[in-house]
């Protein structure tokens, strides 16, 4: 919806690029607005922008100017994937805050919040590579849970698992960090680096997540194992039990890959959001021997499948069309520049790289 600048607030999600005096966007589509963005809009005297009808924490956004107006077109418009995704994030946040107060997990509510975005995702599976745009450092924990769940369901489907197993993967993804609600007070809210003791406490969260899920008596052993093992690694370097490949459940291998991918692409207090292309390339290099190679290949293959022929934005502001990607080097595709119409191969850290896929 189109909104006047004075009615914008932090958490609004841009639906379109904002341009000012150059051909390069001032602020890019899918950006979650913070105060510095609002200051930029003021400095460049931008009067109107198009934003989503929900904030990134999932709450509805109704500008003051529109509160007393009836917008039949908006009311009748079908819900998008982003609509139902943000609703799921809000629902998870509400549940997590109850868990911090000692409430028990209600597994039927976990299933209920996952169903709508999962259904929309499988209608348009390329949306899976846009999830990192909507997570901010303030709301990361809640976005991470829902995104890890959806990514796990997506990868389980690509692996050829049954619908029941896909649901189990999603529940495990949503529950794997639930134990963060049981950490000693102050650790989750801490802005700076954790002490060694605090980090050891965080490493206990798989135990807490496992226990919280087990108490419901509404999940099977596969889900419980996946929750407990989601930080285990193929080479035994993970935690909490230092298990190796043969001892790690298949669903846990899926959840682990989904967990790492979303964490690496998302915004944190120490890092901005990052391109899926660069992240998957880094996962191949830095997580080699630690994550299951088959699952990682499924994730990389999906990105390649959805990318060929797609319009993308490069780090230098140019747009281009992907014409070829080598599965061994997802961060170094061949693209045709929209500006110069020349074909070039991107070289990862050398020169421009792909920042995002431009959705039509």
Query: What's the pLDDT tens digit per position in 89-138?
Result: 999 999 999 999 999 999 999 999 999 999 999 999 989 999 999 999 99
Closest CA to 219 of 242, 251, 253: 251
Q: Find the mean pLDDT for residues 167-190.
A: 92
* Residue 296 pLDDT grade (very low, low, confident, very high; cuts 50, 70, 90): very high
How much is the pLDDT for 28? 86
Q: Which CATH architecture has domain 81-274?
A: Orthogonal Bundle (1.10)
Topology (CATH level 3) of domain 1-76: Molybdopterin biosynthesis moea protein, domain 2 (3.90.105)
């Amino acid at each position: 919806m189109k909104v006047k600048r004075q009615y914008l607030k932090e958490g609004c999600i841009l639906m379109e690029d904002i341009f000012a005096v150059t051909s390069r966007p001032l602020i890019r589509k899918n950006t979650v607005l913070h105060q510095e963005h609002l200051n930029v809009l003021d400095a460049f005297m931008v009067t109107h922008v198009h934003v989503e009808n929900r904030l990134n924490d999932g709450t509805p956004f109704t500008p003051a100017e529109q509160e007393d107006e009836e917008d039949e077109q908006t009311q009748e418009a079908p819900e998008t994937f982003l609509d139902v995704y943000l609703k799921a994030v809000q629902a998870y946040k509400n549940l997590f805050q109850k868990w911090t107060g000692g409430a028990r997990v209600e597994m039927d509510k976990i299933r209920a919040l996952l169903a709508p975005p999962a259904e929309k995702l499988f209608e348009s599976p390329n949306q899976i590579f846009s999830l990192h745009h909507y997570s901010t450092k303030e709301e990361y924990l809640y976005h991470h849970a829902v995104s890890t769940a959806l990514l796990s369901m997506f990868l389980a489907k690509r692996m050829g698992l049954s619908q029941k197993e896909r649901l189990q993967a999603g529940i495990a993804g949503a529950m794997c960090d639930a134990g963060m609600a049981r950490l000693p007070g102050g650790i989750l809210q801490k802005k700076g680096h954790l002490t060694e003791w605090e980090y050891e406490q965080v490493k206990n969260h798989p135990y807490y997540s496992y226990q919280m899920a087990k108490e419901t008596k509404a999940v099977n052993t596969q889900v419980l194992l996946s929750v407990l093992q989601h930080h285990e690694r193929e080479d035994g370097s993970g935690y909490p039990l230092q298990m190796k490949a043969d001892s790690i459940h298949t669903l846990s291998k899926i959840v682990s890959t989904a967990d790492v991918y979303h964490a690496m692409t998302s915004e944190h207090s120490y890092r901005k959001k990052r391109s899926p292309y660069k992240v998957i390339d880094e996962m191949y290099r830095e997580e080699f021997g630690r994550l299951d190679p088959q699952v990682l290949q499924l994730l990389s293959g999906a990105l390649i499948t959805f990318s060929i022929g797609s319009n993308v934005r490069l780090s230098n502001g140019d747009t281009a069309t992907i014409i070829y990607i080598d599965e061994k080097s997802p961060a170094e595709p061949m693209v045709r520049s929209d500006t110069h119409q020349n074909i070039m191969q991107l070289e990862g850290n050398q020169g421009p790289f792909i920042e995002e896929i431009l959705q039509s």
